[in-house]
Chains A and B, each alone.
Chain A
Amino acid sequence: MQRAGFVDVAIVARHDPFRGTSKEKTARKFGVEGISMIARKPG
């Protein structure tokens, strides 16, 4: 994102979207998690 030019990049929340799915174990194995983040175009 910073390579694209974005600034003020920040992760605001983390989520566990695979909890309770058949892929939960795979997600845990690979360290997969959901995130919500913000970034800004300078201006």
Chain B
Amino acid sequence: MATSCPIELDVDQLRREISFIYARVAEDPTGDFHFHRGPGYAVSLLGYDAAEVAAVPAANSASFAGVGNPHCVAAIEAGETVVDIGCGAGTDLLLAARRVGSRGKAIGVDMTPAMAERARAGARAMGFDHVEVRVGDALELPVESGTIDVVISNGVINLTPDKDRAYAEAFRILKPGGRLQLADIIVANELSEKIRSDIDLWTG
């Protein structure tokens, strides 16, 4: 898939590195990573509701690696249709599915097949038949235009080489009046081109 990037960066290598790292997170979340994972982190540092997170199967929440909390910015309502961009093992997706209920729908999109399968297994374990997980990319979402009430994402857009396109895709799939509830990292300082081209720092 063609993507554009404002700096010199091997986009295909970046995609491979991200898939590799997050497949490892799915398979062995207790492994050696330089970012936090798991339900305790979600509650203690990001303000997730402990009881809600406890309802998510441990096999899913153990791989949680978000950087913020898209649920804290506005309430997701019963009956809404939600897309989680880069749903990973599915913690945010399953929390959203619980909130929208059986009259709504929660669609996860993730580029890592291992993560997508983990999220599907979590939905089955929670008895959710209104959850669907699609393998796809934030820059080309496999979702019909203008059909979604809420787009959530947690720690994913920063990993994409073309943020403008990622935001344009979120905009495209939302209904008029729809909400983007985004958690991500921002960088306050201006970074040199050398640092911005360092794939280890992108994936870290």
Identify the A interface with B (CB < 8 A): 1, 3-6, 12-13, 15-23, 26, 29-43
Residue of A nearest to B186 (CB): A35
Size category of the B interface is 35 or more
Check if B180 sits within 8 Å of A40, measured CB to CB: yes
- Given the interface pairs A35-B183, A35-B184, A39-B182, the reply to whether A20 lies near B36 with Cβ below 8 Å is yes
Identify the B interface with A (CB < 8 A): 34-36, 45-47, 66-70, 72-74, 155, 164, 167-168, 170-171, 174-189, 191, 195, 201, 204
Check if A34 sits within 8 Å of B46, measured CB to CB: yes
Check if A6 sits within 8 Å of B167, measured CB to CB: yes
- Binding site secondary structure of chain B: mixed
Q: How far is the CB of B91 from chain A (nearest CB, A)?
A: 14
Given contacts A4-B168, A35-B68, 4 further A-B contacts (CB under 8 A): A13-B73, A16-B45, A35-B185, A41-B179
Q: For B170, what are the chain A residues with a Cβ–Cβ distance below 8 Å?
A: 4
- Given the interface pairs A6-B180, A22-B34, the reply to whether A34 lies near B185 with Cβ below 8 Å is yes
Q: For A21, what are the chain B residues with a Cβ–Cβ distance below 8 Å?
A: 34-36
- Given the interface pairs A4-B168, A13-B69, A16-B45, the reply to whether A42 lies near B176 with Cβ below 8 Å is yes
A15's partner among B69, B164, B204 (CB-CB below 8 A) is B69
Q: For A4, what are the chain B residues with a Cβ–Cβ distance below 8 Å?
A: 164, 167-168, 170-171
Residue of A nearest to B165 (CB): A4
